[in-house]
Structure 1
Amino acid sequence: MKTNFPSKDKAINWLLAAAVLVNVSCTQQQTNETTADTTQVAQEVKAGDFVSIFDGQSLNGWEGDTSYWRVENGVITGEITPAKPLEKNSFLIWKDGQPGDFEFKASFRISESGNSGVNYRSEKVADVPFALKGYQADIDGKNNYTGQNYEERKRTTLAYRGENATINTQPNANDPASFKANLKNNAWLSREVTGSLGTADELKTHIKPGDWNEIHIVAKGNKLQHFINGVLMSEVLDNDAANRSDKGFLGLQIHTGPPMKVEYKNISIKQ
């Protein structure tokens, strides 16, 4: 029986056409996959703009006194021991930016005798290593002050837990004597309590002593909010143009005092 085979030229043309079809199909598949990947990344960025600033393994991206700060069991740990007392408040400072308007989130756990906090929009203190001065979301082991807004080395307490406070420009704000006269009992006198978020004791019930809690700071313009476990603890409207700060360093504090331990994890920021 005679079998009709295509000519050599026709066979080559068929093979070339098939190759083109396969190449087009593969290219289209790769294009679809790339588009899908790009869309997924865009959706993820849009869904949550928080970026981790702690790798869970090291202090890369941070600077501080490693006599007191280390990474242990996947968390940043600050500790004062009897063998290593602390003379001045010390900070672990984030090196990769000086945020202005931002949101910050972290989980923290602190011993009962502990005193710590998250400083932001802060300046470095020239003559004290790893020291900051500026706004602080306060944290302490007894939860007497956790959630308040305390300005380290500056105007001291701006809002206690449970307060909406407006900070007014004081007369002669640039005069050191006037500045000192505006401080009393570790609080800033040119402040007006304009509302209540609940009593300090009521809000304290939302904080878990000796366990992990989430701190959330929202700084937008001159409005500063501190949340603990999703509950607004203090709010400051800082109208004091002479003394407020619009951007600056971010840092974790370990405070002078008795032996203590504080831990931070899941640290992220959205700018």
Structure 2
Amino acid sequence: MMKRVFRLAILVAVPILSGAAFGEEGFVPLFDGKSLDGWRAADPSYWSVRDGAVTGTITKSHPCDTNQYLVWEGGEIADFELKLESRVRGQGGINNGFQYRSRELPDHDVCGYQVDNNLETPWLVRLYDEYGRHTMAMRGEHAVYDAEGNRAAAPLAEAAGDAWFKLEDWHEYHLVCVGGEITLNVDGRLAATVSDNDPRRREPQGILALQLHSGPPTVAQFRNIRLKVLRPAEPAAPTRQNPQRRALLDAATAWWPLDTGGHGALPPLRHIPAFEQFELNVCGAGNGARPGEKVVVMSGAYFDAGPELHGGKEAVTVFLRARDPKGAWNGGLFAKRGGHDRVHFNLFSADVDGDGGGDIGFEVRTEQGFAMVSFPVSEMDATAWHELAGRYDGKSLEIFCDGRRMAGKDWGGELVRNTEPLLIAAETDGGNVVRHFHGELAEAALWDRALDDVEIGLLSKE
């Protein structure tokens, strides 16, 4: 995340919405105080109604190592006011909160805007971006994100001093979202505000979900949940997909839409580290970006698919849709490597010939030895989105960009297998994870056969 701070003088021009300015007119209750009707959970065993409140519970006999969410079934919300009362109790620095204008991932985890609270912290509550920019505004801050994603923050006089509420006791959140303006009041007093002007990361609409954070024994409760719609959410745009392309990807040995961060992926795909150095839910930008496309921004993280996946005996095709906004192209892309002496396959970017310019390459090792092909980045738009593919068919080794053959050589023999992990956005060398790719990714796929030229061309079609 870019953190360059621009002049704070602009902050005074942003309107602050006070909690006292809103009455109850137009609010609709979302919880009947008796049942979880209208709400759904991937694992209902953590959720119940107790003392007239939605209650999420973790115990020693029923532990939780994955965040749990109770999702409101009323659809997405856009501009709104939300009022709810909450309290959380447990052992140690318990974390909790609720998501809004968010996105449910395939494994039922959630990314997006969050009101986050944490026991045993000086701030207690903050405006947060789950799997995104992380802290947006701490209690006592007004933060502004400009169109390039730069953040500036200034103190809120209204929220100065010690906290006036306790997370262990019932307290009321009043959240107001109008466009990019987000205002949070706690017990009628202004706590934090955000002006989000970043068009790639601003979330105009999404789901509402209550969170039970993984960790030690916890009781998180919510009651008196009321919503006032100020602007309804837009209907979801229809998904445009080339049916032939989709069928080709469905038939792959592995296909990963990376905008979900590997959540729910089959075969399994982990992002490392778990919560830093990457951002989900970012809109694609730049030449070649697809309408409505969401991508993952990598800034030191990588994906790990484990050591089991391989190409075929004498054939493999790998594919990655990627962008380097800086045009540097100097990192691992899609690799089951370990080193030249054991590489199974490796799609990579580097300065291969030492001329100071980037190259895109594809390498394998067979029983005949090591082989590599590459082409200079100068032969493509260096800052645009590209469909990169490497192919080995037992007779030749080739690399493609946007469906066009860029380089190749005759080569043969059975592919050497290894026990190295298959990585995306990095590679292994001598037992270490190295050469992290700093850029943006959309999808990756692996076939244990050699795609033909027509199939390679399909990968570049929407």
What TM-score do you get using the length of structure 2 for normalisation?
A: 0.42
Q: Which has the higher contact order (CA 8 A, sep 6+)?
A: 1
* Pick aligned residue for 2:180 from 222, 226, 231: 222
Note if 1:133 corresponds to 2:111.
yes
Which residue of structure 2 lines up, in the alignment, with residue 202 of structure 1? 161
Partner SS for 2:225:
strand
Offset at 1:145? 4.2
Q: Is residue 83 from structure 1 mapped to residue 61 from structure 2 by the alignment?
A: yes
Asked if 1 retains the 8 angstrom alpha-carbon contact of 2:159 and 2:189, the reply is no
Alignment of 1:178-193 (within 5 A): 190-193=150-153
Structure 1 residue 141, shift from structure 2 partner: 2.9
Structure 1 residue 226: Cα displacement: 1.1
- CA displacement, residues 184-212 of structure 1 (integer Å, 9 cap, x when unaligned): xxxxxx3111x3114977151x1134211
Contact 1:118–1:138, Cα closer than 8 Å, also in 2:
yes
Q: Secondary structure at the match of 1:202?
A: coil
Q: Give SS of 1:82's match.
A: coil
Give the 3-state SS of the residue equivalent to 1:92 in structure 2. Answer: strand
State how 1:86-235 maps to structure 2 within 5 Å. Answer: 86-112=64-90, 113=92, 114-126=94-106, 128-129=107-108, 131-142=109-120, 144-170=122-148, 190-193=150-153, 195-198=154-157, 202-204=161-163, 206-235=164-193
Does the 8 Å contact 2:158/2:190 carry over to 1? no
Q: Which has the larger radius of gyration?
A: 1
Against the structure 1 CA distance between its residues 203 and 95, is the aligned structure 2 distance closer, same or farther, given a 3 Å change threshold? farther
Identity %: 37
Task: Give, as a single letter, the amino acid of the residue that structure 1 aligns with 2:39.
Answer: W
Deviations 1:12-71 (CA, angstroms, capped at 9, x unpaired): xxxxxxxxxxxxxxxxxxxxxxxxxxxxxxxxxx96111100011111000112121111
The reply on whether 1:54 has 2:31 as its aligned counterpart is yes
Residue type of the alignment partner of 1:63:
R
Q: Larger % of helix: which?
A: 1
> Is 1:259 paired with 2:237?
no
Cα gap change, 1:270 to 1:202, in 2 (>3 Å): same
Q: Count residues with an aligned counterpart.
A: 204
Amino acid at match of 1:50: F
What residue is the counterpart of 1:246 in the other structure? 204
Paired amino acid for 2:130: E
- Residue 72 of structure 2 aligns to which amino acid in structure 1? W
Residue 83 (structure 1) shift = 1.4
Tell me, which stretches of 5 or more residues in structure 2 are unaligned?
A: 1-22, 230-462
Mapped to 1, the partners of 2:60 and 2:207 lie a distance apart of 30
- 1:140 Cα shift? 2.4
SS in 2 for 1:67: helix
1:69 to 22, 32, 47: 47
User: Structure 2 vs 1, CA of residues 200 and 232 (structure 1 numbering), >3 Å: closer, same or farther?
Assistant: closer
Unaligned runs of 5+ in 1: 1-45, 172-189
Would you say the 8 A contact 1:143–1:209 is kept in 2? no
User: Higher strand fraction: Structure 1 or Structure 2?
Assistant: 2
8 A Cα contact 2:118 2:125, kept in partner: no
